[in-house]
Amino acid sequence: MVDHLRELGIELDPDDVVTSAMAGAKRLAELLWDGSEVLAVGGEGVALALTNEGLTPVRTADIAGRSDRERPVAVLQGFGRDVAWTDLAEAAFAIQQGALWVATNADSTVPTDRGIAPGNGSLVEAVRRAVAIDPEVVGKPHPPLYLRCAERLGCAPSESLAIGDRLDTDIEGAVRTGMDSLFVLTGVNGPQDVILAGPEHRPTFLGRDLRVLHEPYEPAHVTEGEQDVVATCGGARASVSSRAIVLGQRGSASERLRAIVAAGVHHVDGGATLPTWPDVDSWIHEGDS
């Protein structure tokens, strides 16, 4: 994570990164005695976060053959590409015996280079169906992770910017916490999703990717005509009516994104429906590096 952000020109140290696993471990540390055993489900970051909070992470193999009274007092469930059925089963067994259950996030899917795959939320739901209770979720879209980040930055949530590419987690969490948000086109959601989103999923700002952080922000300007809504942003222009969406050929990817979203939102919020949706994604990125 740190190396990737540095490649994008963002200067930071490893200590500047706050993960949902860290937020989950901190929450359990507030509820448990120092040294308490916690079943760590997920990648190595889950166990490391628990250790850093003074708790004792245990894995499935560590508790095999133990009696119910010897099971961990809590479960921290995070995402891991090697999570197995046995990990989910041991989590269910511990929870059924009264262990506290904290989930790092509830993302139902995760994008990969081969397509969309089940995310941590899908694995959490598998355990939930076995135990019939809900976990405490500390990551997106819930406020604890956002509040921890603001605390690390030393500023109020209203002075922070949350960046994400998923409306129902990244952006919703920012809205819940009172943070401004930047939506980028690197995940499962696209411009049409933003246009049709409710207030709890509406981002403050829009950009193609994290490179937009190095660019002056140009907002879109909307003009309402008799039969259509026209939005311009820099060199980009888009118009939306009940019959068609017309897309101009100028502007950067970020400017095109803001133009089509601004026109679409104004159109939909006025009570109209969107016409047949063209290939907007290709138009946004056309000729843009």
Where exactly are the structural domains of the chain? 2-137, 140-217, 218-289
pLDDT digits (tens, 9 = 90+) for 205-216: 999 998 898 899
Beta bridge partners of 94: none
pLDDT band at 1 (very low <50, low <70, confident <90, very high): low
The residue among 225 and 156 whose pLDDT is bigger is 156
**289 pLDDT band (50/70/90 cuts)?**
low
The pLDDT score that the predictor gives to residue 152 is 85
- What is this structure's pTM? 0.80
Please, which pLDDT band fits residue 222 given cuts at 50, 70 and 90?
A: very high
What is 140-217's CATH number?
3.40.50.1000
Q: What is the pLDDT of residue 10?
A: 73
Q: Which residue has the higher pLDDT, 231 or 285?
A: 231
pLDDT at residue number 287? 66
8-17 pLDDT, tens per residue? 677 777 777 8
Q: What's the pLDDT at 188? A: 83
Shared fold status for 2-137 and 140-217:
yes
User: Is 61's pLDDT higher than 90?
Assistant: no
Contacts of 205 (CB under 8 A, 6+ apart): 161, 180, 181, 182, 183, 217
For residue range 4-49, what is the model confidence (pLDDT) as tens digits?
777 767 777 777 788 899 999 999 999 999 999 999 999 999 999 9
Contact by Cβ (8 Å): 276, 248: no
- Fold exhibited by the domain 2-137: Rossmann fold (3.40.50)
